Structure 1
């Protein structure tokens, strides 16, 4: 089974070569060496990758899952909240899935 991290990296390379700017969103909390918690500030369920197409500036959000991965409830809520707005959202299990997502209108 492919690790999600590898799929994300492969998607980032392919999508950036496909005329888009793409970023990885690190979401969550991490306990630092000094004992304090660092919170990324992004809402729970925020997708793994986001960016825009150079052709028209349209924003996209991509949730990355491995072959057997499923959306958590907070990810489903994010998907529902963003639907109906003028952005692209999709779940990718592969580079091919991600390229189809960013090619949507």
Structure 2
């Protein structure tokens, strides 16, 4: 089974027990773009850029549903946090809203952040 197949199998099997998301990253090229007569593109002075997450970030990420028991009182745990950063006029897509809602519904903290103040408000700071 391919790595992608393993990821999908794990996500499908654990659905309902936790929230898992697949991390996507990529590499592209930027520079001086020139369209050629045949429709192809020539990039002069190319520079690579990486998109997505930092090196070493796991293929799957998310959060586990935890019921706090009396034995856990006073302990710390990591709560999933997500921020969708937008300009003051930026619009949130349906998919982005659904992601934020799912995080909040399952005990994480997520919202649209248009400023540092918005992020602090999400954290209750």
Q: Give the structure with the larger strand fraction.
A: 2
TM-score between the two structures when normalised by the length of structure 2: 0.38
Query: What TM-score do you get using the length of structure 1 for normalisation?
Result: 0.44
Q: For the pair shown, which has the larger CA radius of gyration, 1 or 2?
A: 2
Higher relative contact order at CA 8 Å, sep ≥6: structure 1 or structure 2? Answer: 1
